[in-house]
Structures are given as C-alpha cells and as structure tokens.
Structure 1
Amino acid sequence: MHDVVLVSPFNEQLGRFKRFVPRSVPIGIGILAGFLRSKGHSVRIVDNELVDLDRASITEILNGCNRPRVVGISVMTANVASGYRIARLVKSVDKDAVIVFGGIHATVMPDEVLRSGCVDFVVKGEGEYTFLELLNQIKGGNIDKDRLENIGFIEPADGRIVYAKPSERTVNVDDVPIFPYDMYDPTRYNLGFILTSRGCPFDCIFCSQRVITKRRYRYISSERVIAELDYLINTLKQPNITFFDDYFTGNRERVFELCELIKKRGFHKKASFGVQTRGDSIDRPLMKAMREANFGSLMFGVETASENLMLLINKKETVKENVDAIRLGKDMGFAVEATFIFGFPTETFDDRLKALRLAQEIGLDRARFNNATPYPGTAMYEMVRDRLKVEPMWANFSSAGAVTGGLFKRSPLPYVPEGSTDKELEGTVLLANLLFYLNWTNLKNLFNPKQSGSGKWFEVSNKDMKSLKTLIELTLLGGTVFFRVFYYLIASSMCRKFFFKGIRQ
C-alpha cells in the first residue's frame, strides 16, 4: 500500500505527434518521489502519458493507497486542463481524497487552481520539504496550518484563500537522493539522462522555469554526479546519457573536473554524453576536454538571428557568440542542435526568415522552431498580457502548437506580434521546421534512432519502422502536415514568400 500517489498529467496538445515525440521521464515528480521515499514514505508514480486515467483506473490506483489518500499532481500551463480532469476523477471516486497541486502553473496561478473546486492544497515553489511536511501532517491526522510554509488552501469556515508564510529554506541539492530510476520501467522510457544542477542565473523573458527555482543556481557535487553516472552506465547499461541541466557549463572548473573524473573512471569508453549550453560559456579548451571525455552532442538555445531581439528577450548573450560556438563545436566533432522561437514582440517577417537561413547555413544537425508562448510567470506574459488570446483552461498555450495542430481543430496562438497575423506566424513556424529538414543529411539525423540529445523532438525506432501500425500513423501524420502546409501556402502570401525564399538555401 502507498502513502501517496504522484501524477504527471497528459499533454493533450501534441495531437498526432504524440506517438513520435520521445517519451521523457517526468523528472520533477521523480525527484519528489525519491525524496519522500528517503523519508520513509511509500510512493507510486503515475504517468498519464503511459496510463489512460479513467474512473476504473483511478479506482484501482486509489485502492492501493492508504487512507487518508493523498494525490499530488504536478502541472504546467500546457497540461493543467488534464490535471483538473484527473483531480475531478479522483474526487468522484473518493471525495475525501486530498488533492495537492504543485509545479509551475500551481505556483504562478494558485488562486485559479484553488478556485477550481477539485484541489485542496497548492504547493508553491520547490516541493521537497513543503510537500513532506504537509504529507506528514495529513498522515498524522492533524493538520497544523500555522506550521506549513509555501502552501495555499481554502479556509473551510468562510471560503477565503489563505497562504501560509513563505519559506526561507533553500533546498541543498546534495541532500536530495540520487534520482529514483528504479521507479520507472526501462522498457517504456529512455533512462539515459542525469540532472546535476538546479536553476539558472539568467532571466530570459520567455522562460517559466525560474518561477520554481528563482535565479538560484546550485549544482550537485562532482562525487555525487560520478556515483549517479556509475549507476547509469554500469548497472543500467545506458550507452548515451544526456545532462538535463539548464546550464551545464555554468561552472567552468566543475566541467573540467567532471571530464577528468569521467576519464579516470573509464566512463568515456562505455557511454557518450550530451549537454545544453550557451554560446558565451563554452570555448575551445572546454570543448576539447569534453570531447576527450566523450561528450558528443551540444544543444544551444539560439532563439533568434536578430541581435536586437536578443537584447529584448534578455538572453545576455549575442547571436554571434552562439554562431561562433556552434561552428567551433562542429569543427571539433560534436553533433550540434539548436532551438529557435518565432513570435517575439517587435519581431518581423524578415527576422524569421533570417533565423531560418542562419539555421540552414551554420551546419546544425538538428533544429526545432517553436512559437513564442507567454506562459504565466514570465516577463513576456506581463509584457503582452493586454494582447493575449487565452482559451478556456489555457488550451492554446503550447510552444509547439504551431507544429502539432490538427487539420480541423484550430486554436489561435496565444500571442502574435504587431504586424503579423495568426496565420502567418503559425505557417512560418511550421514551414521553418519543414524547410530545415528538406535536406537529406538533416532528414537522416531526424530519423536516426542512434542520435541522442536533449533537443531531439521526433523519434521512431528501427523496430517501430517495421510495424504496419507505425507506418500507417506516419502516413497520417505526413498527410496532416502536407495538407496544413498546402493550406498556408494557399491562404497566406507571406507564407508563400517565406517558403520560396527559404527553399532556395
């Protein structure tokens, strides 16, 4: 029997792409699960991406949970609608179950969450100690709200929303146990990942992660990292490991130290590694050390080809720094990926075309183009909130919405900069992804199951390629993309212009 169930809701906005988006482990609830387990609690993780949650399955899950039943649900804006649906299902099965929401959306929009009618508590910010104290009190049968921190709830007596005092505690990441890989089925997930730091010292206007970690940048000790790598490589036999750190190269000396320790332990002979980095924090000496330790892939958040937009989005680096680092990485034998975002305030058609051309010209192995999404909690949200289009339950708030949309079910993009139209922005995002891969080498990289990296967004295994069902689904997906491209080329003169200028590269 379990003390608590932690749920990761389904992202309903991927459409036909869901089948081919690499399945990622819900890391946030995994970290929390490992922490709670280390404190003596029995935890069950439920990933709605893998498990259909209806009344029957919810009943089965709750039957395996000690009373009072506690269900924690981690929500982002993109999947909060699914989170509410799950919470209501739980309450319909057991009205006395305690529902706790955490994560980015719950932290930023706690009033909305508590007014939903299906949530008992909100945990704001980092959840380890806050959730542990709440869980201990619930299981002890006596909730002393004066002792709680970073918690929101509705006062039963008068219906007021009440927030406990904020916590002064900062989580020491070395006190958090090694990630509980054993709680995930290795046949259903790629477990080749590690998280060795928390937070990021920067404050880009489009990033909502800082809502949880603020700008505190903390990294796990090198000894702990090596112990976790040893488990991944020698116990789980993972041949490719991606560091999921937001800013892996944030501490230069630490990277050199990790590279030396990886070589000393012989890990570089058994596995390859990939990281996300920035153009202003990596250079030839660092790349040389990383290549010697068998780091094979780098991902850059380039975002734009406009230096003016770089200033606007507060990246604190330049386009030139990214381009120079990418070219150097290619020269030194790395596979290099990059992400771009279309639709920032003041952005023009020419800015988007320039970004596509940059991606085509600098030798990237993979690229992804997303639509700018002003998620609650970001500086961009405050900047453009008067021009936002918000559908019920934030249904149109997806940074991949321009790519993953269906043929007939259309939702407006949440934000379109002045001078552009919804059709033009959505069409150019879709076309940029298509045009980048109208190149045999890039197309092979997209479909290559051996290529790993934190930016990989499309995946089909060799085994799946031999399946009739997979081939049918790929055909349907290809047909959907083809007809959407055809629609934009017919309906928008700017999309036609973008296509013909982009295809000439």
Structure 2
Amino acid sequence: MNIILIHPYIRAMEKTFLSEPLGLVCLATHAEKVFKEKIRISILDLYAMGARSPVKNGDYYYLGIHDEAVIAEELAKLQPDLVGITCNFTAYVDDSLDVADIVKHHFPDVPIVMGGAHPTIEAVETLQHCSSVDYVARGEGEIVFENLIRYLLGEISIDAINGLTYRKDGEIVFNPKMDLIKDIDRLPIPNRKYIDQQAYKYFNKQTVWYVRKQPVATVMTSRGCPYQCVFCSTKVVWERNWRPRSLELVFEEIEILHKEYGFREIIINDDQFMLKKSRIHEFCDYFIEKNYNLCFSVDAGISIWLVDVDLLEKMRKAGFYALRFPIESGCEKTLEYIRKPVKLDKASALIDEACRLGFWTSSNIIVGFPYETREEVNESIRYAYGSVLDFTSFIIAKPQAGSEMYEDFKKEGLLEKAVVQGSDFYRSDYDTLHFTARELNDIVNNASSKWFMHKVKFFINPINFYRYFLPKLKSIEDVRYLFSVLLAIFRRKIMPILISKIKPFFSP
C-alpha cells in the first residue's frame, strides 16, 4: 500500500514560514514501524516545495506549490492508495480542503483522510462541506491512523476504529473517541528523513531570526497541558492531560538532531514544558554535563507560577538564553477572564531576576478579547511598558474553533463578520463588544511601533543599562548575538517605517 501524507500549501496575508510538520513525521514514523514492508509511506510537502518563492494573488500570498497540474503530477509519481492531509489551524482550512478536492479530482478512487486540530473540532462539518474527504481522524492521530490502515488492509472492521468519523449509506458516522496514548514512549523518535531538512533550515532562519544559533530544530518533550486558558484549542486533541516523554528518549532525539543533522539550537515545542520542576532540573543537568554547546528556547514560554530563581540559574548554565513569559495580559480582570494563573507582581519580579541573570526576556500581550474594554486594554499595554521586558509582541485574540473564547465570540454574534482565511495574530478580522477590528489593528500597530524607541530610552539610563543590559554581554558570542538581533530589528521593524516616510518624496 502506497500512503501519501500531504502538508498543504497555505494562503496567508503575510509571508509566513512554518516549522517542520512534526505531526506528519510522527504519523509516518509510527506507521512504518508498525507495518514495515506492508506499506510505503512518504510525505508530499507542498508547502516546503514552494514556500521559498511565495506568489502574491490579491490580498494573499500563496506559500507552497498550489498549481493543480503540478500537484497532480507529483501525486502521479507516487501512485497513492491512501492520502492523508493535515489541517491544524482554522485559518488554513480552506487550503487543506482545496488540496483534498484536487486529489479526489485526479484520483477519484483513492480514499482521503484528514486530521489535525481543526478537523478534530469540526469532524462532521468537514465531511458535510467537502465531499472529497472520506474520513476524519479525530484527536491524537497515531493509533487512529494505524487502525484505518488496518481496515483498508482488511484486518479489522471500520466500526472498531475509535476516533474515526466517516460516511456510511449516506449518513455520517461518528465513532467513539480514541483514548489518549498513556505511555507516549511507545511511539518511536520522529524520523526526519521524511522531510526536506534543508528547506526547513531555511524557513526557520527566516521565521525565528532571533535565535542565537542556526540551524534550529523543534522537539516535543511532552504532550498536552492541564491548564484552562479560554483562547486555547489544544484541549480538543490532547484534552487536559499532560504526558511527558522519558528524558532518555528526548536526549537521544536531540543528539540525533545535533550529531547527524548539524542542528545547533533546539526550540522546545511543548504546550507546557515547565510542569514538573524536577524534570527540568534533570534536563539541564544532562546538557551541562555533556557540554554540547547547544542553545535552547521554549516556544510556548516559561510559566511564571512554576519557576523560581534557582531553576532559572540552572537553565542559563544549560544553554537557555532567552525566556518568553506568557503573561498574555497586564490587567487582572482580563487574566481572570482568560483563566491565566499569573500574578503580575510575581511576574515583574521574576522578569527582573531573569534580566539580571543575563536572559533576553519577552512576552505576548494579547488584546481584543470579546468583553475587554478600552480601559482594560490600556492597562495591559501600560503594564508591558512599565516592565523591564526586552521584547513584547502585541497581538490580537483569535477565536480558534474548539476554544471557550470561540464560543463567547459565537454567543455574542461576533463571528459572522469574520474573515479567517490566512489571518494572523497581528491583524484582526473580528469586532468585539467594545472595538471594531480596525481599532484593534490600530492599537496593536501603535503599541508595537513605539516599543523599540521605548527600550532605547530605557537603556540610556545608566542604572538600567548596568542592571539589565550588561549582564547579557558576558562573551564575544553574546556581543555577536546582540548585533545580529539589532540588525534584524532594523531590517524588519525600522526599515519599513523609514521607507514609508521617505516614499512620498519620490512619488510623482
């Protein structure tokens, strides 16, 4: 059986570079381990094949191979017996469904299964709206996908596949949910042979320009998060269940990435890396002892309520150099709404200590929650500007399907005005009860545009410079990193502003 897993192209309002599709890599690695010579499995990465040359079409950039004839030609080379298509984000669901239509048009007898966060949330709707999709694999994908292959090989019946939604006699059948894998160590280490590593080294360099060392790879050391943030939709896949991989397997994967592929920095892509403090100490002790000279960062951030200064000191020695603190709001009332267990006074104190230890610090400040008032938004922005954070990303709340906030937007009649295709966190398409989308865009643009000069003025103060800036510069490598970040900020933030101001003088 020839199985093709497709990573679709995307349409986005900006040039958007994605990290490697680890979900598909995990599926492929697990299926190959289980079925061995019974199957041949590969990933058709339409995104990686064309994202280096994005094509502008109207309001959107096409990133990846999107020409139907080219996609059909690539599929013809592979002669699929089963096609799987991923769709993790609501903003890109139309792209995934378009790919399904292309596959079905050229290979009408080949079954198509779709998985990922969005189809999990809207499994029935996916089958109702797209006749090209035959199956939806809900939730954690490895075992559902394994059992679907077993069914197509004639080994089990379809009604035995928990986590599958499909059509039967003109009706949509919603099988019981699949239990989460209790011991995720039974899953093999993701085999990166399925994807173009050189392409993702390039994409990561464009996206995570602020990293200390290139090339950079992502690793997942655990699955799930027990917390209940209202804007988060990962609960529909992982539930409120945190399951760590054994650190022995994590160490083995990181060593493969470092020694065989040459990666020099690892981004930990967990929803909640910090939950078990003793585990983080063990992680740090291992890499302090090995002295691989690797750098580490945590994409989802460092949960303030789980960290102390002793742990920060050890993380610094182990190669962590930048900390993202997921504060999300500087307003106590908003924090209560989003159910973020952040105490702002503790957050400020911990950020202060992190800066003094030599970490670069950052945070997200989210505005545009459905019930948030202007006073609350202003309070949140004032908190960021009053902190000693080095960087702050001011972003706009997005109602992701499956989140409680999505239901709040829906209840208040705010989703009818939405344009979700290709949207990002820096531009809103949603009105709230107190703001229009345009007002939110202006607020975020204004707060973001003033941040750089705010930090320049902050560090001109000799006390601030000595206390918060000098600790970051303890080696030649630290100085090089500083200049690389400043150059990137100039190119990405300041240059566009200068061009926009100069351009009118050269217009006819």
TM-score by length of 1: 0.80
C-alpha distance 229-53 of structure 1, shift in aligned 2 (>3 A): same
Secondary structure class of the residue paired with 1:35? helix
1:38 aligns with 2:57: no
Q: Is the 8 A contact 2:139 2:178 kept in 1?
A: no
C-alpha distance 71-348 of structure 1, shift in aligned 2 (>3 A): same
For residues 241-252 of structure 1, the aligned pairs below 5 Å read 241-252=266-277
Distance 1:65 1:137 in 2: 22
Distance 2:436 2:68 in 1: 42
How far apart are residue 479 of structure 1 and its match? Answer: 4.5
For residues 277-292 of structure 1, the aligned pairs below 5 Å read 277-292=302-317
Secondary structure class of the residue paired with 2:200? coil
For residues 199-210 of structure 1, the aligned pairs below 5 Å read 199-210=224-235
The letter of the residue matching 1:305 is G
For residues 102-251 of structure 1, the aligned pairs below 5 Å read 102-115=115-128, 116-138=130-152, 140=153, 144-155=157-168, 157=169, 159-190=170-201, 191-251=216-276
Secondary structure class of the residue paired with 1:295? coil
% identical equivalent positions: 26
Q: Is the 8 A contact 2:309 2:353 kept in 1?
A: yes
Secondary structure class of the residue paired with 1:101? strand
Q: Is the 8 A contact 1:304 1:319 kept in 2?
A: no
For residues 256-335 of structure 1, the aligned pairs below 5 Å read 256-267=281-292, 270-275=293-298, 276-335=301-360
Indicate the residue corresponding to 2:97 in structure 1: 84
- Given the alignment, which residue of 434, 457, 463 partners 1:419? 434
Distance 1:82 1:146 in 2: 29
How far apart are residue 142 of structure 1 and its match? Answer: 6.9
How far apart are residue 433 of structure 1 and its match? Answer: 2.2
Indicate the residue corresponding to 2:2 in structure 1: 3
Distance 2:487 2:33 in 1: 34
How far apart are residue 47 of structure 1 and its match? Answer: 3.2
How far apart are residue 169 of structure 1 and its match? Answer: 4.6
Distance 1:91 1:59 in 2: 10
Alignment deviations for residues 34-73 of structure 1 (CA, whole Å, 9 cap, x no partner): 2222222432223333331322222233223345232333
Indicate the residue corresponding to 1:389 in structure 2: 415
Question: Which structure 2 residue ranges, 5 or more long, are not aligned?
Answer: 51-64, 202-215, 458-468, 470-478
Distance 2:367 2:419 in 1: 23
Indicate the residue corresponding to 1:430 in structure 2: 445
The letter of the residue matching 1:202 is Y
How far apart are residue 430 of structure 1 and its match? Answer: 2.2
Indicate the residue corresponding to 2:476 in structure 1: none
Secondary structure class of the residue paired with 1:100? strand
For residues 333-352 of structure 1, the aligned pairs below 5 Å read 333-352=358-377
C-alpha distance 194-348 of structure 1, shift in aligned 2 (>3 A): same
Alignment deviations for residues 361-406 of structure 1 (CA, whole Å, 9 cap, x no partner): 323233222211121111112223132234688437643333xxxx
For residues 15-54 of structure 1, the aligned pairs below 5 Å read 15=13, 17-18=14-15, 21-39=16-34, 40=36, 41-50=39-48, 51=50, 52-54=65-67
Question: Which structure 1 residue ranges, 5 or more long, are not aligned?
Answer: 403-412, 484-505
Q: Is the 8 A contact 1:77 1:394 kept in 2?
A: yes
The letter of the residue matching 2:47 is E
Distance 2:263 2:68 in 1: 37
Secondary structure class of the residue paired with 1:136? helix
Distance 2:166 2:499 in 1: 46
C-alpha distance 171-431 of structure 1, shift in aligned 2 (>3 A): farther
Q: Is the 8 A contact 2:430 2:437 kept in 1?
A: no
Distance 1:167 1:125 in 2: 7
Secondary structure class of the residue paired with 1:258? helix
How far apart are residue 255 of structure 1 and its match? Answer: 0.6
C-alpha distance 438-352 of structure 1, shift in aligned 2 (>3 A): farther
The letter of the residue matching 1:126 is E
Distance 2:87 2:437 in 1: 31
- Given the alignment, which residue of 393, 416, 426 partners 1:400? 426
How far apart are residue 257 of structure 1 and its match? Answer: 0.8
Query: Would you say how many aligned residue pairs link Structure 1 and Structure 2?
Result: 447
C-alpha distance 266-365 of structure 1, shift in aligned 2 (>3 A): same
1:96 aligns with 2:102: no
Alignment deviations for residues 263-310 of structure 1 (CA, whole Å, 9 cap, x no partner): 22222xx21111221111111111111112121111121111001111
C-alpha distance 56-282 of structure 1, shift in aligned 2 (>3 A): same
Distance 1:312 1:34 in 2: 40
Indicate the residue corresponding to 1:409 in structure 2: none
Q: Is the 8 A contact 1:449 1:461 kept in 2?
A: no
C-alpha distance 358-47 of structure 1, shift in aligned 2 (>3 A): farther
Alignment deviations for residues 74-102 of structure 1 (CA, whole Å, 9 cap, x no partner): 34211101011111111111111211111
How far apart are residue 203 of structure 1 and its match? Answer: 1.0
The letter of the residue matching 2:430 is P
**RMSD between aligned alpha carbons?**
3.3
Secondary structure class of the residue paired with 1:178? coil
Q: Is the 8 A contact 2:365 2:395 kept in 1?
A: yes
Secondary structure class of the residue paired with 1:118? coil
Q: Is the 8 A contact 2:426 2:441 kept in 1?
A: no
Distance 1:28 1:318 in 2: 34
